[in-house]
Amino acid sequence: MNSLGLWHNRTYVSTVTIVVAFFVVAGAIVYYMQSKNPKWIGVWAAIKSWVITAPVIFFFAALPAPWPLVFIVFAAISGSKTFYQMTGMYHRNSFVWLTYFFIALQAYLIYRGHVQFYNLMPMAFFVCIALIPIFSNTSAHMIQYLALALMNFIFMGWGFMHLARIVLWPGGPLIVLHLAILFEFCESCNYTITRAFGKHRPLHSISTRFSLEGFFISMVLTVLLAWVLRFMLPDHSQPYWLLSGLSVAIVGRIGGLLLSTIRRDLGIKESGIFIIGRDDILSQLDKVIFAAPVFYFGYLLLNAVLAVK
């Protein structure tokens, strides 16, 4: 458990230096390109937003436990709130506050080491929200409300909260930072390549930001970056950095496309501005909802398999 923080950790300092240097160089290139071609304006706005988001992420990751966990819970609740807002359920206070409570309960169980209850929480949550129509003596729209609330909790209270389980591992804050950098890099690469060179967009009815060129090139570059940043992982060997790179690039993309599907079905693009140059906070977290549990269980599986060898 991270009880002292990372302020004097050499790996942390090296990571911050690399990220700052990368965005200075990338920012200079993109600034020049956006002055020549309007297609690059969106990329430039995204890079500028990192002037705000990167320091916040690095700051909380470096704090002693349990503050990195608190930051993850805050992000999960914020994402859950956005989901309810975009689905029109934010006025259903019983569902909203019960979701927040169960996300916080998940964090408490993780922090206290009661992880054996973690996978039971979705069922426990469903039992509790199933009592809402009974106690309120109403059936109007309850199938819709129950389904959306359960979906929300699976996304943010179960899938995303695997980051909270990871952050309490030995070296966990650095692992979460490693994944966060890969998520942002992969998304930026995909967006840039799709805007500049994306010709084949087989999922245009779901997302105009997805192209085969963007997907495959960003996947290769993300795996390459995972190799460069492998020093952030407790085990630097190939299976682990391949797991992080592929989880982010492939499984993370599925999460993003799923939330795009939901937005298109609702007839909305986004649910507000998170930071200048960014969409709503849920669009920053949707890549994590599947990738975090895949990385979590993949990491444990690798540990078990390699320990036997």
pTM flag (> 0.85): yes
Of the two residues 143 and 191, the one the predictor is more confident about is 143
- The pLDDT, as a whole number, for residue 255 is 93
Highest mean pLDDT among 110-119, 125-134, 185-194: 125-134
- The pLDDT, as a whole number, for residue 129 is 97
User: Could you give the residue ranges of the DSSP H alpha helices within the chain?
Assistant: 10-36, 41-62, 67-86, 93-111, 121-136, 142-152, 162-167, 172-197, 212-228, 238-246, 252-266, 281-285, 288-308
- Alpha-carbon span 26 to 19, nearest angstrom: 10
Asked whether the predicted pLDDT for residue 227 surpasses 80, the reply is: yes
- The pLDDT, as a whole number, for residue 269 is 63
- The pLDDT, as a whole number, for residue 274 is 46
- Alpha-carbon span 149 to 155, nearest angstrom: 10
Asked whether the predicted pLDDT for residue 142 surpasses 50, the reply is: yes
**CB 225 within 8 Å of CB 167:** no
Confidence of residue 278 (pLDDT cuts 50, 70, 90): low
Average predicted confidence (pLDDT) for the chain:
88
SS3 sequence, 37-57?
CHHHHHHHHHHHHHHHHHHHH
Residue 212, burial from CB neighbour count under 10 angstroms (0-12, 13-18, 19+): middle
